[in-house]
Amino acid sequence: MKPAPFVYHAPKTLEQAVAVLAEVAPEDGRVLAGGQSLVPTMAFRLARPAHLVDINQVAGLDRLAVENDALAIGACVRHAAFHRPVAAGPLGDLLAFVVRYIAHYPIRTRGTFCGSLAHADPASEWCLVAATLGGEIVARSARGTRRIAAADFFQGLMATALEDDELLEAARLPVPTADTRWGFYEFSRRAGDYALAMALATFRLEQGVMVAPRMGLGGVEVSPRRIPEAEAMLTGEPPEIGIFRRAAEAAADAVDPLEDIQASAEYRRDLVRAVARRALERAAA
Partner 1 sequence: MSGRDRRDTWVGRSIRRVEDFSLVTGRGRFTADLAATHWVRFVRSPVAAGKIERITAPQGATVITAADLAGVKPIRPMLHKFGYVPVDQPILASEVVRFVGEPIAAVIAASEEEAEDLADGVEVAITESTAVVRAEDALAEGAALVHKDVPGNVVVEARHATPDFNAARKAAHRLLTIEIRSRRQNAMPLEARGGHAAYDPASGRIFFTCSTQTPHLMRTAIADLIGMPESQLRVIAPDVGGGFGQKMSLPPEYVVLVWLARKLKSSVAWREDRRENLIAAFHSRDQKIRLEGGFDRAGKLVALSADVTANIGAYSCFPTTCAVEPLMALAELPGPYDIRAYSGVARGVLTHTCPMAPYRGVARPVITLALERLMDRAAAAFDLDPIEIRRRNLIDRFPYTSATGLVFDEASYRETMEMAAAALDVAAFRVRQRQARTIGRFLGLGLATFSERTGYGTPAFAARGMEITPGWEKVELTMDPSGLVEARIGASPHGQGLRTTLAQIIADELGIAPAQIVIVHGDTDRTPYGFGTFASRSLVIAGGAALIAARKVRVKLIKLASHLLEAAPDDIVLENGNAKVAGTDRELPIASLARAAYHQAHRFNGEIEPGITEAATYDPPGTFSNACHAAIVEVDIETGRVEIDKFLVAEDAGRLINPMIVDGQIHGGVAQGIGNALLEEIIYDETGNILTTTLADYLPPTLREIPPMELHHLETLSKETITGAKGLGEGGAIGAPAAIINAINDALSPFRISIDEIPATPQRIRAALRAAKANA
Partner 2 sequence: MMEKIEIALLINGRWHAVRVEPRRTLVDAIRDDCGQTGTHIGCEHGVCGACTVLLGGEPVRSCLMFAVQADGREIRTVEGLADGDKLHPLQRAFMEHHGLQCGFCTPGFLMLAVGVLEREPDIGDADLIEALSSNLCRCTGYQNIIKAVRAAAAEMRAK
C-alpha to C-alpha distance for 85 and 93, rounded to whole angstroms: 5
> How far, CA to CA in Å, does 187 sit from each of 15, 81, 219, 265?
41, 24, 9, 15
We find the least distance from the C-beta atom of residue 9 to partner 2, in angstroms, to be 9
DSSP element (H, E) containing 280: helix 265-284
Binding mask 147-186 toward partner 1 (x if CB under 8 A, else -) reads ----------------------------------------
C-alpha to C-alpha distance for 127 and 71, rounded to whole angstroms: 15
Q: Which of partner 1, partner 2, none lies near 56, with the C-beta cut-off 5 to 8 A by kind?
A: partner 2
Binding mask 5-34 toward partner 2 (x if CB under 8 A, else -) reads xxxx-x---------------------x--
Contacting partner 2 within 184-203 (CB under 8 A): 191-192
Q: Does 144 bind partner 1 (CB under 8 A)?
A: no
Quick check: 75 and 61 in contact, CB under 8 A?
Answer: yes
Q: Is 189 exposed, middle or buried (0-12, 13-18, 19+ CB in 10 A)?
A: exposed
* Part of the chain binding partner 1 (CB under 8 A), chosen from 63-71, 166-174, 206-214, 268-276: 268-276
Contacting partner 2 within 78-137 (CB under 8 A): 80, 100, 104-107, 109-110
Q: Does 5 bind partner 1 (CB under 8 A)?
A: yes
DSSP element (H, E) containing 9: strand 7-9
Quick check: 261 and 196 in contact, CB under 8 A?
Answer: no
We find the least distance from the C-beta atom of residue 249 to partner 1, in angstroms, to be 12
Q: Does 263 bind partner 1 (CB under 8 A)?
A: yes
Quick check: 226 and 131 in contact, CB under 8 A?
Answer: yes
Among 68, 242, 256, 261, binds partner 1 (CB under 8 A): 261
Binding residues (CB under 8 A) for partner 1: these are: 1-2, 4-5, 44-45, 187, 189-194, 261-264, 266-267, 270-271, 273-274
